[in-house]
Structures are given as structure tokens and as C-alpha cells.
Amino acid sequence: MINFEEELKKFNPSLEVEDAEEAIYNQDLTDMADLLVKMLKESEEKKEQ
Amino acid sequence: MFCYNCGCHLSEHDFCTACGVDVSLYKKILHVSNMYYNEGLEKATVRDLSGAITSLRQSLKFNKNHIEARNLLGLVYFETGEVVAALSEWVISKNLRPEKNIADTYIEMVQSNAGRLDAINQTIKKYNQALVYCMNDSKDLAIIQLKKVLSLNAKFVRAHQLLALLYIDSEQWEKARRELVKCMDIDRNNTQTLRYMKVVEQMLAPDENETAQSKKKKDDIVRYESGNEVIIQPANVKEPKSNIFTTLINVGVGLVIGLAAMYFLVVPAAVMDAQNDAQKAVTEIANQMDTKTQRIQDLEKEVDKLTDQNKELSDKLAGYVGTDGTLKNVDFLLNAAKVYLETQDVKQTEQQLGQIEQTVVLEDSSESFRNLYTLLLQTIGPELCKQYYNEGYTAFRNEEYETAIELFTKAVKYDATHVEALFNLGNAYRLNGDKLEAISTYEQVIQLFPDTERARRALRYKENLEDDLAG
């Protein structure tokens, strides 16, 4: 059986239009491609040293 | 596909033909991103929107620059009623590719109609308010609010789910089922919806048993044909013997049953209708109240803003007309000009100008004010300098050095090219025992009037004073 209180905790307030700008700025846009490029560059730097 | 190192177009080789960098791993990552995008697209096509969101987000985790995946993710969010999340994705997409991007059209579609954007925002605010009502255990208000939300945006999955949860909590299983069916029409594979649906189906299952039982009861009847008619009669019931008394009793029982049916079926229906009308009226009034509350809040904000503006303008006006204000200073300047034109008395003119100096920042005043002020100063400056120098020199000779310093300072102020005034100011400082000021003044003489007798004497005095200070 469903526990109303527990289920209610799964519902979060929706973002309002005024908060959209902040949400966009706070998004972490790092992707796997970024990480790979960073790792490759670090390994190259280590080789040079 | 472009090289991460030099930005050149990549070929089928595992290295960049332009810069030679190994791009095999990079290509694999982009392939995985594409694979997730294709999966997301397939899921979106069959309305598995939750699955599509998961796949598309996964695709963007591998390649944030996958514009199609980001645009589709925005579209899926929009379809589930998450307008702000959709706008966020489209804005990021537009930022990553400003030209030839369909996100442009989507953003314009939402933003071009101010009324629509406002309605979207109202929907979100009402949903949040409903959530607050739920937290505060005001479930009836939450249901009313959610119905309003869904009348504005029928595709808001989370609102449907919350309404279904409220119905489940109040054991209105059929209504909960209806909401969940609507959820599934929008998003077929939402785990939360499926879980709620499972519970609701379980609770509605006993009805099916009852149906089975009623079928069983139907089997207890005898069905046969007599000519062209089908006769149906209970298997174990015998026809009662007919007489008047029994007929009367049957008529009486029929009347009672009729009245009872009237009381139990027709009256509740009428009451239900009345309740529904009342409920509609309450909802309408609540809607009107919400609109008016919003309007009052907007007007209050406007009043606050206007009050602030009024205060700011009043302060500004007070600054113009006050005792220290600009108009007063214009009076002083005009008086100074009048005094000079009538009497040619530079001291009186200076007195009027002095009052302006105390209160006005010249850079902030008008050009005509500044021009007249400067012209007056330039006209009376040399004469004033001469007078102050003569008075200062008399004081100097009488060994009243402090008075002399004051007068020489004024003389220098009105004519910076008066070498005697500056040199004697240095002398007055020196003889008054103010060695540091004297050195500073002599340095000015050396700098401003090089290669003059005064400069050579100033240098000598300065060196003597520096020796004294060092000793």
C-alpha cells in the first residue's frame, strides 16, 4: 500500500520562469568528452615533464 | 564530427588528418552519445517519455554539444508540462549553436505570446501552492488547486500524479485510475505512474470477483423458448398462487419499493447535482479570488515602486530648491557677476563665489554655469592674487608668518603663475618652522619655474632644510 507522506516527499516544487536563468547558470555542463580531453592533456603534460 | 584539438573535420581514420591527434577514444564517446540519442528518439516516438528523458540526458552526459539530443530533451520536457526545464535546455542549445537551430523556433513559440508565458508561470505557481497545501494537510484545497492547474495545462504529468496520489489517499480509486490513465496517455512508461496504477488496480480488483459471482447467479436461472418467445425464470422458485390479497400486498410492496427507489436513487442524484453546482461555484470563486489576489499583489508592488520613485523625485527636487541646492548656487553666481559688473570689487565678487565653492561640485553642474564661474574666476583671479600677495608680503615683513601663509596660499590659488607668491609661501613656511611644507612648496617652485633665480634659491633653501631634517 502507498504511504501518502512518503510519496509526497518525492514531489518537488516546480521551477518558476523567474528561476530559469539561475537554473541555466547552475547547470553542470561537463561531459565525458571534456573529461577525456582533460585526461589526454594531463597525460601529455606528464610525458613532457 | 570535429577534432577536439584543432577543430578540423574528422575523417574515417582514428587520428586527426590535420593535427595528428589520436581521436579513437573521442570518436567512441561521440558514438555512445549518438547511440543514446537514437534510443531516446525511439522511446519518445512510442511515448515512453520518462525513458526518453533518461536516454537523452545520458546522451548529453557523453556529448554536451549534441544539439539534436538537447532540443529533443527540451521537447520531451515540454510535452510532460515541465516548461521551465524545456526552456533551459533550448536556451543552452541556442547558446551552443546560435545559427540554424530549431531551439530558436521553440523559444520564440513560448516567449512570443506574453499571455501564454504568464499562463505557464501561473500554472507552475498553482502547482507549487497545491504542494504546499498537501504538506499542510489541506488536501481538499490541494485537489481544487490541481484541477485548476490541469485545466490550464492538461499535460502536466506531475500534477496528474499528485492528484492521483490525493485520490488514492482518500480512497477514490476510480478517480485516481482516471488520472493515472491520463498520465499514461502522455507518458506510457513512467515508473511512478505504473506503481500507483498497480495499487489502484489491486484495490479495484474485488469488483471483478463480484462480477464473476453475478455471472454465477445468472447460471441459476432457467431459460427456454415458447414459440417465438424466450422465457427466463429462476430455477428454484415456484410460481406463487395468485389471489386478491397477495395482489394487493404485491402492489403495496411495489409502491414501497418505488418510493424507496425514488428516495435512494432520484433524491441523491438531485443532491449530487446541487453539490456539483455548488462545487463549481466554489471553484469559480476561488479562481476569481486567486486572480484578484494576484492583481492586488501586482498593484501593491506597483504602489511601492511608485512611492519609491516619488520619494526619489521629491528628494531630487528638494536638492534643487533647498538652501544648499543648485538654484541657490545659480543665485550666488549671478550675484557675483552683478557685483563685479557694478563695482569691479574683486573681494566682494570673491566672497559670492566662495559661497558657491562650498556647496557645488563643478563637474556635476551645467555647462553654462561652469563657463560663467570659470570666466569670473579668470577675470578677477590676477587682481585678487595681486591684492593677496601684497597683504601677504606686508604680514611676512611684520613676521606674522601664519597670516602670511594664509594670504600667499590664496594668492597662489588665484594665479598659479605668480612665482613670487609661491616662493614667498615657501619662505613663510620655512620661517614658521614648517619644514616639510616648505620643502614641498620649494619643489613646486623648482618644477614650475625652472632655470629662474627663484628656482635656484628655492633649491638652495630646500637642500638646507633637507640637511637640517637629516641632521
For residues B427 and B329, the model is more confident at: B427
Which tens digit of pLDDT belongs to each residue from B315-336? 877 766 555 556 677 888 888 8
Does residue B60 sit at the A interface (CB-CB below 8 Å)? yes
CB contact under 8 A, B84 and A30: no
ipTM at complex level: 0.87
CA–CA distance from B259 to each of B256, B269, B270, B452 (Å)?
5, 15, 15, 131
Substitution target from A5, A7, A14, A31 for chain B, most B beta carbons within 10 A: A14
Residue B190 has what pLDDT? 92
CA–CA distance from B89 to each of A31, A32, B259 (Å)?
15, 18, 64
Longest dimension (CA), chain A: 63
CB contact under 8 A, B85 and A4: no
What residue in A sits closest to B21 (Cα-Cα)? A40
- Burial of B422 from C-beta contacts in 10 A (0-12 / 13-18 / 19+): buried
pTM over 0.90: no
3-state secondary structure (DSSP) of residue B19: coil
Query: Hey, how many other C-beta atoms are within 10 angstroms of the C-beta on B272?
Result: 10
Are the beta carbons of B166 and B146 closer than 8 angstroms? yes
Which tens digit of pLDDT belongs to each residue from A1-49? 788 888 889 898 888 888 888 888 888 888 888 888 888 888 888 888 7
Which tens digit of pLDDT belongs to each residue from B14-51? 888 888 888 888 889 999 999 999 999 999 999 999 99
CB contact under 8 A, A1 and B199: yes
Mean pLDDT (whole number) for B168-180: 92
The DSSP secondary-structure symbol of B112 reads: S
Query: Hey, how many other C-beta atoms are within 10 angstroms of the C-beta on B335?
Result: 17
3-state secondary structure (DSSP) of residue B113: coil
Which percentage of chain B shows pLDDT scores above 90? 44
What residue in A sits closest to B159 (Cα-Cα)? A11
CB contact under 8 A, A7 and B165: yes
CA distance B370 to B360: 10
Looking at the predicted structure, is the pLDDT value of residue B441 above 90?
yes
Write the DSSP assignment of B151-219 as a string of letters: HH-TT-HHHHHHHHHHHHHTT-HHHHHHHHHHHHHH-TT-HHHHHHHHHHHHHHHHHHHHHHHHHHHHT
Does residue A25 sit at the B interface (CB-CB below 8 Å)? no
CA–CA min distance B16, chain A (Å): 14
Looking at the predicted structure, is the pLDDT value of residue B226 above 90?
no
Looking at the predicted structure, is the pLDDT value of residue B403 above 90?
yes
As a whole number of Å, the CA-based R_g of chain A is 21
Residue B48 has what pLDDT? 93
Are the beta carbons of B195 and A6 closer than 8 angstroms? no
Query: Hey, how many other C-beta atoms are within 10 angstroms of the C-beta on B191?
Result: 9
Residues counted in chain A: 49
Strand partners for B15:
B22
All domains in chain B, ordered by first residue: 24-112 (1.25.40.10), 135-210 (1.25.40.10), 326-470 (1.25.40.10)
> Could you tell me the three cell numbers for B72?
529533443
CB contact under 8 A, B84 and A20: yes
Q: Who contacts B340 (Cβ-Cβ below 8 Å, separation ≥6)?
A: B346, B348, B349, B376, B379, B380
Backbone dihedral region for residue B380 (phi beyond 0: left; psi -120 to 50: alpha; all else: beta):
alpha
